[in-house]
A and B are shown apart, each in its own frame.
Chain A
């Protein structure tokens, strides 16, 4: 199947700094990508939908000015956590869909673990 990569795989930063996470579709183009976060022992929560060439769509309760999303090309979306605080520590995961038999297959990245001190 198709491959989605994320970079970095883990990051530790000081409170107040900004962190950028990249999501790439390696062998297919993705006009849409999704960003999730997952707290320990909880399910994935969708944060936003990233659209190439237009603004991202954020889920209710997600601050768009704090979590900046840029879909720079058909294979790259970035999530920037601005002025990170300890409560932003989480597992961030992106996904990119590819059409398959009327439905589509969502390919997920390996995740980025963020720890804010």
Chain B
């Protein structure tokens, strides 16, 4: 799997958009970008994933650059409950030979401030 680079920590004011960057310059053409988060003392939670198009769901938006070497997770209106560690992971899809294991890096610790 391609390596990702994320800032160690970020702060965001409550109600403002939180923009979490991720660099994945060695991503290959059949690798997806996934985002998960882990709130303290809980299991990780899937947020969103994409291949090359921007994606949006009820939780967040994922913006992937045209060259696919970086992406940004956007939480449009951050709340205190969004305080968590956010993981950007690049990996093959299931069509590449079965379910792939998820390797977690350090992630970005997002602190939403009142």
A residues near B, CB below 8 A? 1, 4, 6, 31-32, 34, 36, 43-46, 49, 91, 93, 95, 97, 99-111, 113
Contact = CB atoms under 8 A, between A and B. Distances in A.
A97 B41 contact: no
Given A103-B49, A103-B51, A111-B43, A32 B93 contact: no
A80 B106 CA distance: 27
B102 A106 contact: yes
A108 B44 contact: yes
17 contacts: A4-B43, A31-B99, A32-B98, A43-B107, A45-B104, A101-B49, A103-B49, A104-B94, A105-B46, A105-B49, A106-B46, A108-B43, A108-B44, A109-B43, A110-B42, A110-B43, A111-B43
B99 A97 contact: yes
A95 B42 CA distance: 13
A10 B103 CA distance: 24
A104 B99 contact: yes
B102 A34 contact: yes
Nearest to A92: B43
Nearest to A102: B93
**For the complex of A and B, 7 pairs with smallest distance between CB atoms:** A108-B43, A103-B93, A103-B32, A97-B99, A104-B94, A44-B104, A32-B99
Nearest to A107: B46
A103 B105 contact: no
Contact of B106 (A43, A99, A108): A43
Interface in B22-51: 32, 34, 36, 38, 41-46, 49, 51
A49 B99 CA distance: 10
A101 B44 CA distance: 20
Contacts of B44: 44, 93, 95, 106, 108
A87 B113 CA distance: 35
